[in-house]
Chain A
C-alpha cells in the first residue's frame, strides 16, 4: 500500500520560506512513470496544483508560483520536498503531497491521475 506523509512547520512568517517534505512508502520514488506532486487547498475552498517532480527528476511548476518555487527529491530517503519563498498570508493553505501516475481506460487511452494523497498539513503564514 502506497503511503505519503507530509511534514514541516505549521507556522511560517511572512517573507520567509515555506519548506515541506513528503515521505513516500510502499513505492519506489525513482521508478515507474510517476509524478510526485504538491497540491494546496485554501481554507474552505478549491484545490490548486503547485507542481511536480517526475520519476526522472524533471520538474513542472504552476506558472503562478514558478518564480518562488522549488521541488526536489531525495531518492536515498524516499522523499520529495517543496520550498516556496517570500510567502504571504495568501499562501496560507492545507498542503497535500500526492502521486500522479498513468491510468488507462479499456481502449488504452491514458492520463496522469492522482491516486495516492497524503493527509495534508495546514501551513499558516502569520507574524
Chain B
C-alpha cells in the first residue's frame, strides 16, 4: 500500500500562531492529495483538495502546497476552533490511504 507519513504526530500551539503540518508519500502521487480536519465526536471535514485548492466555505487561513511526495498544510493565525486532528489522504491509487494524523493542541 502507498504510505502517507505525517509529521509531527502532535503539536502544541497558541492562538495566533502559524502551524505547518507535513505529509510525505512513499511514492509520487502527483497532486492527488487531500486534507481533512476532524474534531472529537465528529466526522472528518474536507479542507483542501488536489493538494492546494481550498474547499468552499473553509477559512482562507488554511492553505495547502506540494506535489509528488511532499505536501504541506499551513494554518495561519491559529484560532480556537482550529484545535483538532488533521489527516492527509491520497486518491492516486487504491487502496486509498490516510496519514496517521496530526493532533493540534492548545499550548
Contacts and interface: CB of A to CB of B under 8 A. Distances in A.
Contacts of A96: 43
A110 B50 contact: yes
Interface in A75-127: 96, 98, 100, 103-106, 109-115, 117-120
A118 B96 CA distance: 18
Given A104-B50, A105-B53, A106-B53, A113 B91 contact: yes
A62 B97 CA distance: 10
A103 B99 CA distance: 20
Interface in A46-69: 46-49, 60, 62-64
A110 B53 CA distance: 11
Interface residues of B, number: 29
Interface residues of A, number: 27
Contacts, number: 70
Interface of B: 1, 30-34, 36, 42-44, 46, 49-53, 55, 87, 89, 91-92, 94-101
B43 A47 contact: no
A49 B31 contact: no
A111 B44 contact: no
A103 B56 CA distance: 11
Contact of A109 (B31, B36, B98): B31
A82 B91 CA distance: 21
A103 B50 contact: yes
A65 to B, nearest CB: 9
Given A64-B1, A111-B33, A111-B34, 13 more contacts: A47-B98, A49-B97, A49-B98, A103-B49, A105-B50, A105-B53, A112-B96, A114-B34, A114-B36, A114-B46, A115-B46, A117-B44, A119-B43
A111 B31 contact: yes
A47 B31 contact: no
Nearest to A112: B91
Contacts of A112: 91, 96
Contacts of A111: 31-34, 49-50, 91-92
Contacts of B30: 109
A61 to B, nearest CB: 8
A46 B6 CA distance: 11
